[in-house]
Every structure is written in structure tokens, then in C-alpha cells.
Amino acid sequence: MSTNKQFNVFGERVEVIVSSKDTNGSFCVIRQYSGPGGGPPPHVHSKEDEFFTVIDGEFEIFDGHSWHPVDKGQTAYTLRNNPHTFRNRGTTIGCMQATVIPGGLDEYLEELSRLSMPPVMEEVVRTSDPYGISFIAPKQ
């Protein structure tokens, strides 16, 4: 079973619940703890689909066009090649869980956690390219 690793990515705690290594790359399960307004920058995965579950708090998912509220216990998903992100729309730290198919995102995030803070975008892009992840301009 998983080693339950934890590390920080751009100031937010990421916990690996099920690692890609444990599933022979089939999938991974991660949790991200975000403060109010927090979450990853808008991005696109060329290799993975993601299934999200709000463990705690109030979040919203951006589907490339608009924001959709997702509350504790609710789920949402994004498919590869579609711009997306999530953010905490609440007033306290929240937890978003992502099941990622196939695996690999946990390894990518752990690699990102080794970058200096604040992150240098060139380093982020260089780290992200081999994983097929690109970033897009945020929309409000």
C-alpha cells in the first residue's frame, strides 16, 4: 500500500494517498490542502483525466469556460486536453482529493515541490513539459 507521502507545492500541502508506483502507473490518489482562494494555476494535462472529490470546504472548478461550485462530499471531473483548475472559495483551509488516471501526477507534484519559492516560471515549465502539463492564462 501507499507510503502516504506529504510535501508542499507552491505553498500548499499535497498528500499522496495512493501512489502511482503502488498501482504500476494505473492511477494515483492525492489530496491538496488549499487556503481561501488557493488552488493550482489553470492548466491542461495531455496524459491524464482527473476525478475530484471535496473532502472538506467549499471549492469551485473551472472547466475552461466558467466556474462551478463544488461543496463537501460533491464530485467533479476533468478530461485530458481540457483547460481546468480548482480553487477554495471558502473562508478556511479546504481539502480537494483527486483520483488521476493514469498515474504519474503524484511524481510530477513531488518533483515540483523541490523547486525554489517563489517559483521561477521557466523552471516550472521545464519540469512540467515531460509530464505533458501546460499552463494557461487565468480567467476570473
Answer for the pair 107, 18: CB distance below 8 angstroms, yes or no: no
Q: 88 vs 138, which has greater pLDDT? A: 88
**Helix, strand, or coil here: 10?**
coil
Question: Would you say residue 102 lies in a domain?
Answer: yes
**pLDDT tens across 37-94, in order?**
999 999 999 999 999 999 999 999 999 999 999 999 999 999 999 999 999 999 999 9
Task: Quote the Cα angle for 29-43-100, to 5°.
Answer: 15
User: Total structural domains in the chain?
Assistant: 1
Question: Would you say residue 59 lies in a domain?
Answer: yes
pTM: 0.92
Q: 46 vs 4, which has greater pLDDT? A: 46
- Please report where in the chains the cell 502511482 appears, as a residue: 20
Residue 117 scores a pLDDT above 90: no
Domain ranges, residue 100: 6-132
Question: Would you say residue 64 lies in a domain?
Answer: yes
Question: Would you say residue 1 lies in a domain?
Answer: no
CB-based burial, 51-87: b 16+ in 10 Å, e otherwise: ebbbebbbbbbbeeeebeebeeeeebbbeeeebbbbb
**Helix, strand, or coil here: 128?**
helix
Classify 35 in phi/psi space as left (phi over 0), alpha (psi -120 to 50) or beta.
beta
Which grid cell is 132? Answer: 505533458
Question: Would you say residue 137 lies in a domain?
Answer: no
Looking at residue 118, what is its pLDDT? 82
Question: Would you say residue 107 lies in a domain?
Answer: yes
**pLDDT tens across 7-37, in order?**
999 899 999 999 999 999 999 999 999 999 9
Looking at residue 139, what is its pLDDT? 53
Question: Would you say residue 90 lies in a domain?
Answer: yes
Question: Would you say residue 138 lies in a domain?
Answer: no
Residue 132 scores a pLDDT above 70: yes
CA distances from 30 to 50, 88, 100, 118, 131 (A): 10, 16, 8, 23, 16
CATH no. for residue 32? 2.60.120.10
